[in-house]
Amino acid sequence: MFKGNALVIGASGGIGKTLVKQLHESGKYEHVYAVSRNLPASPLEGVQYYSLDSESEDLVAEYCQQLKQIGGQFSLVVCCIGALHSTGDDNQKFMPEKRLEDIQKEQLSFYLTTNAILPAIWLKNVEKLLKGPEPSKLVFFSARVGSISDNSLGGWYGYRASKSALNMLIKCAQIECQRRAKNITLISYHPGTVETELSKPFQSKVPSGKLFSTDFTVTQLLQIIPNLTPEDGPHYIDWQGNVIPW
């Protein structure tokens, strides 16, 4: 029976680490590959870790070429790269914008790069790993706040816009894959609010019972995606499997 390989991009983060663990423990994949800038303090035996900076397109391309040469079709690639707040190069703290006056070029550029451009570079390079005779899934961690039609609160200009941009890239890629890699299903996933570094500054405002563990949202994802098909893709869905309007 076809198992295929799995690749997790952004494997050092709260969700990425748990995803690597669940994929590895499932025994459903020939090999599990995990890539990020930082490597986990306690790597799992049997997982193929690799450290690279996605800011270098050449490094991403070389790594994917190496995986292609090792051989074996990938049945799953998940990109968990993303940022909602950060400390900038000059030690300036980026927090999501609350109002128009908060918009800054450097911060907007940071959001667009991390949440849309870096995932797009991976999208371009992993297609060759997923393309093949067997069905495969390409998942990007997006967010519900990237939905243009669901935006009733405003704010978070850069994060929202960058996740909307990611969604558009996913939409374009599914159309192109329907012509040249018909086996690939693209998915834009909203994990809910999950207890990780990314959500830390906002966790106190989350209603009780709505702050999910990384294990919960990853379990949900892995249960939902097997039923999704490329013909009606891309799929913009939440942790319950409910469709989110674009």
**Cα separation, 116 vs 142, whole angstroms:** 9
Q: Are 24 and 47 in contact (CB under 8 A)?
A: yes
- Retrieve residue 121's tokens: 């570079």
Question: Is residue 83 a contact point for ligand NAP (CB under 6 A)?
Answer: yes
Minimum separation from the CB atom of position 203 to ligand NAP (A):
9
Minimum separation from the CB atom of position 14 to ligand NAP (A):
4
Among 32, 198, 218, 244, binds ligand NAP (CB under 6 A): 198
Question: Is residue 80 a contact point for ligand NAP (CB under 6 A)?
Answer: yes
Minimum separation from the CB atom of position 157 to ligand NAP (A):
15
Question: Is residue 194 a contact point for ligand NAP (CB under 6 A)?
Answer: yes
Question: Is residue 96 a contact point for ligand NAP (CB under 6 A)?
Answer: no
**Cα separation, 183 vs 77, whole angstroms:** 13
**Cα separation, 185 vs 166, whole angstroms:** 16
φ/ψ of residue 184, rounded to 5: -95, 125
> Which CB, 114 or 174, lies closer to ligand NAP?
114
> Which CB, 136 or 193, lies closer to ligand NAP?
193
Question: Is residue 141 a contact point for ligand NAP (CB under 6 A)?
Answer: yes
Minimum separation from the CB atom of position 68 to ligand NAP (A):
21
Whole-angstrom CA distances from 118 to 83, 105, 240 are: 11, 18, 27
Among 6, 15, 32, 177, binds ligand NAP (CB under 6 A): 15
Q: Is the dihedral of CA 77, 110, 144, 165 positive or negative?
A: negative
**Cα separation, 144 vs 152, whole angstroms:** 12
Minimum separation from the CB atom of position 1 to ligand NAP (A):
31
**How many other C-beta atoms lie within 10 A of the C-beta of residue 47?**
18
Question: Is residue 143 a contact point for ligand NAP (CB under 6 A)?
Answer: yes
Minimum separation from the CB atom of position 123 to ligand NAP (A):
14
Which residues 6+ apart lie within 8 Å of 152 measured at CB? Answer: none
> Which CB, 107 or 193, lies closer to ligand NAP?
193
Number of residues that bind ligand NAP (CB under 6 A): 26
**Cα separation, 165 vs 232, whole angstroms:** 20
Question: Is residue 54 a contact point for ligand NAP (CB under 6 A)?
Answer: yes
Element (H, E) at 106: helix 105-112
Q: Which among 99-107, 150-158, 196-204, 236-244 is the span making contact with ligand NAP, rule CB under 6 A?
A: 196-204
Contact set with ligand NAP (CB under 6 A): 10, 12-16, 36-38, 54, 80-83, 114, 118, 141, 143, 190-191, 193-194, 196-199
